[in-house]
Structure 1
Amino acid sequence: MQQEFHGRVRLQIDDGIARVTLIRGDRHNGVDIPMLQGMLAAQRALRRRRDVRCAIIAGDGPSFCAGLDFKSVLRNKLPALLLYLRLYSPVANMFQRFSVGWRQLPFPVIAAIHGNCFGAGIQLALGADVRIATADAQLSIMESKWGLVPDMGGTVLLRDVVSLDVAKELTFTSRIVSGADAAALGLVTHVADDPLDAAAALAAEIATRSPDAVAAGKFLLQRSWQASPWGALALERRYQRKVMMRKNQRISVARQQRGGEAKPFAARELKR
């Protein structure tokens, strides 16, 4: 199954693994309004699929995503003004959902990073659960170079992967770091010569586990990470109730008792 959204994002699903590709490669996948809309449309399409086990986000061409295409976004004054006014909204705007929206999907998301990953690009990558980059990829929280702050979910997502002092330094300086250095800092999970192949291998491994247990594990960790100890323990009990004795948990037990015989898992039941 393959779909294209707003001429900027291609979604392909094979055997429960979704591949979401930014397809503005001639502009290093610079983010314009159609790309924002395309990414949100891809999220909506995936949210309806109970068979998806994992998603991989990648960029076509020489870069993962070189950041916001300011010239394109600001070309038309009225839409640009409307976008500015959304900063006063009490709810997350489309720029923030572009990245944070991936944390709300009930399956793991892996970002495969190569080339440039700047500004909006690194915030998109941070929205994934796992990031795999080439050693020579270039990553930067680049907003201060433009006199801005990261506002596409960066503050929510950074705090899960790096310490406050590292986040501050990267934000203050707009410094470009390599994929290898990003891994040492915690911005990147793994370094690989071919991030797409590595992401596909990880997705295949995840697909051998109960889709409900994986979804519950994702939401449990996200919600408990900043919670109080007692709040985290309550979340453990809550998500265990959601999966225990359900069909996919029984299949998991049967697989273990039979030496891993591959009875297929049922479609995912857990949503949030």
Structure 2
Amino acid sequence: MQPILSCRDVRVSFNGFQALQGVNLDVLPQEVRFLIGPNGAGKTTLLDVVCGKTKASDGEVLYRQTENIRKLQEHEIVHLGITRKFQAPSIFANLTVWENLELSLKQKRGLWSVMRAKMTGEDKGKMEAMLLRIGLMEQRHNLAGMLAHGQKQWLEIGMQLMQNPEILLLDEPIAGMSETERHKTGELIHEISETCSVLIVEHDMEFVRNFSKQVTVMHEGKVLCEGTMSEIQQNEQVAEVYLGRRESAC
């Protein structure tokens, strides 16, 4: 199976500091891949490069093996099929849950279409299906700002999915969630992966253990190793990186 996303020798420098030092990474279609590693390892920077927020100084970011997206703008990358959810929920607090989803649905059509578009039966059905998927059907007429923290996270994930991405980037999606919310988020991620690859930066190793398929460990701007969580746990280099705290880190 060919990767849907390939990073080849990706490098990023901030005023002389090498944040990424030749990262190579493949993400397969419908894969759930976690990025883990100590603070400063380059995990979030790599997501920033993939979504266009940060420009790599060298290397290639290949989408579907054919298009190098390294120099594209963020909105161009979104239109190709790669969306990004940041750690803090980015929703419209003064709009209802339904209106947030409606706005996301229309974003793909351009500014004039957003202003003029009327809701079709197909659009309504798609939004209702998404509300059921993220567990917010009963809250659809509530202001988004009134939602619980976990519900806000699910709403933003739903907003990204309304754009039919082929790759969804998540940065610490369970931060601040209860145990029940974490489990529901893990199940949602695996449901999403039936139609969309998911690349996740995460520090909660229990969550990674429970919901990972493939794990990539980063350290000092490089890929240290990758494999299943079981393989990662037994890797001596990983144990050294985490200063011997094998159980707490992995």
- Considering fraction of residues, name the structure with more helix: 1
The two structures have a TM-score, normalised by structure 2, of 0.29
Higher relative contact order (CA 8 A, sep 6+): 2
